[in-house]
Structure 1
Amino acid sequence: MPSNVEIKAIVHNLCHLTKRAKELSGSDGTVIRQQDTFFQIPAGRLKLRDFQDGRGQLIFYERPDREGPKLSNYSISSTDDPQGLINVLTDALGQVGQVKKERTLYMVGQTRVHVDSVDGLGDFMELEVVMKEHQSTEEGVAIANQLMLDLGVKKEDLIEGAYMDLLHKNKQNGHAS
């Protein structure tokens, strides 16, 4: 199963982060609009990512819900009928909820730097160090930590869990979007 080391952090200064990501990647990034629909499963997470252009991906992943760099194992399958698959999976499993975001992707070495604007939550940064076949988790964590420094991300800005968790937490605390 493929894996990556990933971190997620809240963004307080979007202009600074975007400027640093552009410098480090040597590009203006790629804008991707996504709607993720999460489904009820007993362990891990299952989501259908709809790219809003007729393409989608069914993604299963497992990772600990904690702050800082963490190993994530995942499986991905592409689809040309994301809405049809959402309907079938909703009927079969039930939905947990949906996350809508506009993501700008920057590639820095083997790391996917995502600058995300999430509906109902705000701005976030996610790093995914895509692990090479024989690379250790420790190497991935070291790359993530260095990139955090390079981007100016502080440890106190790190968050745990998924955007879906944050949306549910906001809803429970009466901060519905």
Structure 2
Amino acid sequence: MPSNVEIKASVRDHSYLMQRAKELSASDGTDIHQEDTFFKVPRGRLKLRDFLNGSGQLIFYERPDKDGPKLSSYSISPTNDPQGLGRVLSDALGKLGQVKKKRRLYMVGQTRVHIDCVEGLGNFMELEVVMKENQTTEEGVAIAHQLMQDLGVKEEDLIEGAYMDLLLAEAQQNGCK
């Protein structure tokens, strides 16, 4: 199963982060609009990513819910019918919720730097160090830590879990179901 080392953090200075990501990647990045629908599963997370252009991906992943760099193992299958697949999965498993985001993707070496605007939550940054064959988790963690420093991400900005978790927690706190 492929894996990556990832971190997620709140964004303090969006303009600075965008500029640093642009400099480090030597590119303007790529804009991606996504709707991720999460389904109820007994372990890990299962989400259907809809790129809103008739294509999508079914993604299963497992990772610990802790802040800081963590290893995530995943499986991805493309689909040309994300809406139809979403209906089937909702009927079979039940829907946990949906995350809508605008994402700017920058590639820095083997790392995907995502700068996200998440509907209902705000601005976040995510690093995904895509692990190479025979590369150790420690090497991936070191790359993530170096990029955090290069991008100005502070330890206190790190968050645990997924955007879906944050949205569910906020809904519960506000008395929504």
Normalised to the residue count of structure 1, the TM-score between the two structures is: 0.98
Amino acid at match of 1:159: I
Shift of the alpha carbon at 1:155? 0.2
Provide the residue aligned with 2:145 in structure 1: 145
Amino acid at match of 1:144: A
Distance 2:61 2:174 in 1: 29
Distance 1:126 1:144 in 2: 10
Provide the residue aligned with 1:81 in structure 2: 81
2:41 pairs with 1:41: yes
Q: Mark the CA change 1:175 to 1:156 in structure 2 (over 3 Å): closer, same or farther.
A: farther
Shift of the alpha carbon at 1:131? 0.1
Distance 2:46 2:133 in 1: 24
Cα deviation code 1:25-63 (max 9, x no counterpart): 000000000000000000000000000000000000000
Q: Mark the CA change 1:79 to 1:119 in structure 2 (over 3 Å): closer, same or farther.
A: same
Shift of the alpha carbon at 1:174? 1.1
Q: Mark the CA change 1:141 to 1:175 in structure 2 (over 3 Å): closer, same or farther.
A: farther
Amino acid at match of 1:41: V
Shift of the alpha carbon at 1:175? 8.0
Distance 1:103 1:133 in 2: 27
Shift of the alpha carbon at 1:172? 1.2
Q: Mark the CA change 1:166 to 1:20 in structure 2 (over 3 Å): closer, same or farther.
A: same
Local SS of the residue matching 1:148: helix
The alignment's C-alpha RMSD in Å is 0.8
Provide the residue aligned with 1:168 in structure 2: 168
Provide the residue aligned with 1:13 in structure 2: 13
Q: Mark the CA change 1:84 to 1:71 in structure 2 (over 3 Å): closer, same or farther.
A: same
Shift of the alpha carbon at 1:64? 0.2
Shift of the alpha carbon at 1:12? 1.2
Q: Mark the CA change 1:149 to 1:157 in structure 2 (over 3 Å): closer, same or farther.
A: same
**Structure 1 segments of 4 or more deviating over 4 A?**
none
Provide the residue aligned with 1:118 in structure 2: 118
Equivalent residues in 2 for 1:53-64 (5 A)? 53-64=53-64
Amino acid at match of 2:59: I
How many residues align structurally? 176
Distance 1:133 1:55 in 2: 28
2:70 pairs with 1:70: yes
Gapped regions of structure 2 (runs ≥ 5): none
Amino acid at match of 2:131: M
Provide the residue aligned with 2:99 in structure 1: 99
Q: Percent identity?
A: 73
Local SS of the residue matching 1:89: helix
